[in-house]
Amino acid sequence: MHNHGLLVGERGAFSNNAESSSELPLLCDSKGEVRQNSPMLNLHKTWRGRCVWQDAPNIPTHAELSSENQYLRLELESLRAQNGQLSRNKSSVKERSPRSLSTWSNRKHRPDHDEEGLEDRLWDSLSAASIGSGSTVTSWADIVLPDRNCSKQLIAYDKKWNSWVHYAVEYPRFENECDSFIFAIEAGSTIETQNASWMAVYFSVLSAALLMMGDDEGEGQVLPRGTQNRRSTSRMWYDAAIFALWRADFMRAPSIHTVQAIAVLGMCFNTWGDIELGQHMWTSAIRVAGRIGLNTPYSRAAGSCLSEEAQHRLWWTLVICEWLNLPYRPPVIDEIDFDVPLPRVMSHKDDGNSAHDQVDYHIFMARSAIVVYRFRATIRSGLKSLDELTKAVRSADEELAQIIDTLPPHLQPDIDTANEEIRQIEFDQPWIKWQRYDLTLVLLHLRLRLHRNLQAQWLSDPDEYSWAKAVSVSSAMSVIWINRNWDQPSSLRKQWALSHHIFVSAILLVRQCETGGEGEVETYTEAIRAAIDLLESVKEWNMLAHHAATILRDCMGRQFIN
């Protein structure tokens, strides 16, 4: 589950070794041109000061064309004009290049894709590789249970690092349920006699925790007897969760446990390369959630496991991932289909710390998902002109900028990381730093995707759409630069979404290498190589990263970059 304009803080904020930092990312100036920025990168101010655009002067549109025949006639006239067969168009419609019109016609109902099809190639590659992969669990006897200590460590990791991503379980209730389960097993109960749907939740949490755990913590983890290593153990519990869902007959027996388990597995599907299964499972989870009333203010069916607020957070996990779905497909949730308020910060917390709440990140993701959902819906509705697309892009960009204003101080991208108070907060609650960096990457990624809808236009009409190119390129460079200089070890960055952000940034730069000047090509090539290195560093755990790196190496080898 799961990054904008520019960056945050000084070099030291991203790397303990300033000498290892690469060149700073390219940013767009007040004229929308790409330039090299100073060491202090301020996402919020850059966005507000340079990347929020005023309405362009009144430019005639195609609005008066009332039918598709008229639209096609305009395209034909433009083609003739290019060949010198037609004098200047005297109508109120501004002439556009044939490529611009033709491309627009083909894109009307397919938002958010790269012109070269490299992103589609990534998903197709993952899909093909997953066929016939099979499962390591075909019976209860194939499942190796953790001992009490191992279970406690993994549940504690989920509580600290994963729970605010999936929000599928509620603490301390789930923690107590896990203790009761282990106690029952220690007392002689067999796994076959336990609640299969609940065990699907339990195994999904174990798998995700071990999958996302860094090397420092993972190497100290005592694995169950009979297991080989962390990776294979995580995969075994992943397969166990899916096995338990089938044993619970989840397609016939709607249960909150089904929704919980699949919400957690959402962190694992693409990481393991199980893209097809993941999409089918996610759609099933949404269907089950609606069946038990999770799309309402309160579900009695879920009340035995989750409080009202916890239900809202889990529902929004489903919405966030569906509205930001990758690869893109028409969402199965419409905003008119549910009545669930956004997650909220609780005024009182059991730990006594109400100043910093992990749910702030979830609220940010929900609001960003709403912006993207509405933007994609606008594109799919069939806009009449490129001017309408341009306005839609700028409007969505401004809405994302407004979301930054709602972030609490400790998550603001331009926070002073050298401040001693901030350093102490991040030491006491290390998830804060991770959330801030991740939401910055999410904003950059979404901004790139928004403006990439105009890629065909800036390639065919560089002058008119240079601002869209500047935003996309600077966002792409910043995503790679942040990941390259982030002081978190690669073992803590195995999430498939992080790798996908890097890949999308790199493939945009691949295309720009075809049209850029010598200096630009050199800069972009270096960034693409850095992206490949980043993907290579996590490919052992992350199948998406493995396939993404393969595609980028192929691009280099086929001399897309000279």
How confident is the model over 100-113, as pLDDT tens digits? 434 444 444 466 67
Q: What is the mean pLDDT of residues 450-455?
A: 93
* pLDDT tens-digit readout, 71-105: 444 444 444 444 443 333 333 334 444 334 344 44
pLDDT at 438 over 60: yes
Residue 447 and residue 436 in contact, taking contact as beta carbons nearer than 8 Å: no
- Least confident span in 32-46, 257-271, 422-436: 32-46
Q: How confident is the model at residue 21 (pLDDT cuts 50, 70, 90)?
A: very low
| Higher per-residue pLDDT: 544 or 116 | 544
At residue 76, the 3 state secondary structure works out as helix
How many residues in total does the chain contain? 562
Mean residue pLDDT across the chain: 82
* pLDDT tens-digit readout, 273-310: 999 999 999 999 999 999 999 999 999 999 999 999 99
At residue 149, the 3 state secondary structure works out as helix
Query: Any bridge partners for residue 8, and if so which?
Result: 42
- Tell me which amino acid residue 60 is: P
Q: What b/e readout covers 499-515, taking b as 16+ CB neighbours within 10 angstroms? A: bbbbbbbbbbbbbbbee
In eight-state DSSP terms, residue 253 is S
* pLDDT tens-digit readout, 175-230: 999 999 999 999 999 999 999 999 999 999 999 999 999 887 877 778 888 888 99
Q: Cα(42)–Cα(420) distance, rounded to whole angstroms? A: 20
pTM exceeds 0.85, yes or no: no
Angle between helices 308-323 and 275-291 (to 10 degrees): 140
Q: Cα(505)–Cα(160) distance, rounded to whole angstroms? A: 30
Q: How confident is the model at residue 16 (pLDDT cuts 50, 70, 90)?
A: very low
Q: How confident is the model at residue 559 (pLDDT cuts 50, 70, 90)?
A: low
Q: Cα(328)–Cα(539) distance, rounded to whole angstroms? A: 23
Q: Cα(331)–Cα(220) distance, rounded to whole angstroms? A: 41
